[in-house]
Amino acid sequence: MSRTFLSQLTGSFSMPAAENPTVVMMEAAYRHHGLDWRYLNCEVTPALLADAVRGARAMNWAGFNCSIPHKVAVIDHLDGLGESAQIIGAVNTVVRRGDRYIGENTDGRGFIASLPQTFDCRGRSALLLGAGGAARAIAVELALSGIGQILVLNRDAGRGRELASLISGKTAASAEAMVWDGVKKIPQQVDLVVNATSIGLYPGVSACPDIDPDSLRPEQLVADVIPNPPETAFLQAAKQRGCTVLDGLGMLVAQGALALQYWTGVEVDRSVMRRELASVFDSTE
């Protein structure tokens, strides 16, 4: 076969973009799997998002990720949405299918993919701390994976209620919102607890969600969306109480791996991506 000099193009549109390390794990996966693909980290202002998507179409990009602040705004420039992106109302991965750009959301699916195989969502109950973009994506995917009940604990009451009614209205799961107005105990019936807030993210690494850690039970699976540091103060507290813990680095890697699979069709090696990303985070501490 003759050699080709035309690489497949993918990337990310966000602003600010300089501190987004996704490019490192994506390019590591391309190299590892011998794929002649590129991933470009692009800083795109909201005013020029439409032009950026037109540019991607013109250059026949295979797809791209959208990060802050484009996850909702990009929808107006696409040709359709996958099921969960439609319910979540946000897109983090755009996939070229034929000559159409379809919006998908791999954030919540990345979370599901990072769950231990022994954890079967069906009929279980989850407590979500937070009701922002990450919480919304996780709640929708948990519900689509068969979770029975979702409790949403959020500081802003309206935002919490909105997420609970989205889940109750658009999925088979039941959901209830509670206002987070002081230290809360974890309800005993909950099987999974997820910190989906930004509490504990570098450099605020000593911060911990306002819950009573002694209300955690060893049978509970405790997850954090914070990828940096991977072991947050919250996960340390849960570990000390005998809980199984799940870090946000696994979710970040898994959502990237799912995007790569959408674009290339290859089920990429997540350990290669995790190693590469962890080394970036180590060097920022």
**Which positions touch ligand NDP (CB under 6 A)?**
107, 110, 130-135, 154-156, 159, 180, 197-199, 201, 225-227, 248, 251-252, 255
**Shortest CB 2 distance to ligand NDP, Å:** 40
Residue nearest to ligand NDP (CB): 132
Q: How far apart are CA 278 and CA 253, in angstroms?
A: 10
59 vs 140, beta carbon nearer ligand NDP: 140
Q: What are all long-range contacts of 243-249, with beta carbons under 8 Å and residues at least 24 apart? A: 243/216, 243/217, 243/218, 243/219, 244/116, 244/220, 245/221, 246/114, 246/115, 246/116, 246/221, 246/222, 247/223, 248/223, 248/224, 249/274, 249/277, 249/278, 249/281
Is 170 in the active site?
Answer: no
Please say whether the beta carbons of 194 and 150 come within 8 A.
Answer: no
Within 13 A of 10's CA, how many CA atoms are on the CB side?
29
User: Is residue 125 within a helix (H) or strand (E), and if so which, with residue range?
Assistant: strand 125-129
Tokens matching residue 176 = 């209830």
72 vs 172, beta carbon nearer ligand NDP: 72
DSSP class of 185: P
Tokens matching residue 194 = 């997820």
CA angle 46–51–81, rounded 5-degree value: 80
Please say whether the beta carbons of 229 and 164 come within 8 A.
Answer: no
Ramachandran area for residue 130 (φ above 0: left; ψ -120 to 50: alpha; else beta):
left
Which residue type is seen at 136?
R
89 vs 132, beta carbon nearer ligand NDP: 132
> Which residues form the catalytic set?
71
